[in-house]
């Protein structure tokens, strides 16, 4: 199943499967050889303001908020953080 099919479904989205479809493409386009760790949370509580994602350089990790978000938005945030 590809990303378009997952998004078109009204049932629960399988996030690991969605990532396995998306990440090889993103790695190729961004010329990334090794992915950072990716941590999924319902919410990310930043001290200054709420956020949907962030890259923590000292951990070489991306943190993503996934609760109540459309799969396109999650992937958009992931792509943004991979650029860092």
pLDDT in tens, 8-60: 654 567 888 899 999 999 999 999 999 999 999 988 876 677 789 999 999 99
Q: What is the pLDDT of residue 57?
A: 92
Mean pLDDT of 72-76: 94
DSSP H helical ranges for 1-84: 3-8, 15-30, 71-83
> pTM here?
0.78
- In whole angstroms, give the CA distance from residue 21 to residue 18: 5
Mean pLDDT of 75-83: 95
């Amino acid at each position: 199943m590809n990303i378009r099919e997952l998004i078109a479904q009204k049932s629960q989205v399988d996030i690991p499967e969605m990532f396995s479809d998306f990440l090889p493409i993103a790695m190729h386009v961004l010329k990334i050889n090794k992915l950072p760790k990716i941590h999924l949370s319902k919410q990310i509580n930043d001290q200054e303001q709420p956020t949907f994602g962030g890259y923590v350089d000292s951990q070489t990790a991306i943190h993503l908020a996934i609760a109540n978000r459309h799969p396109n938005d999650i992937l958009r945030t992931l792509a943004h953080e991979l650029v860092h």
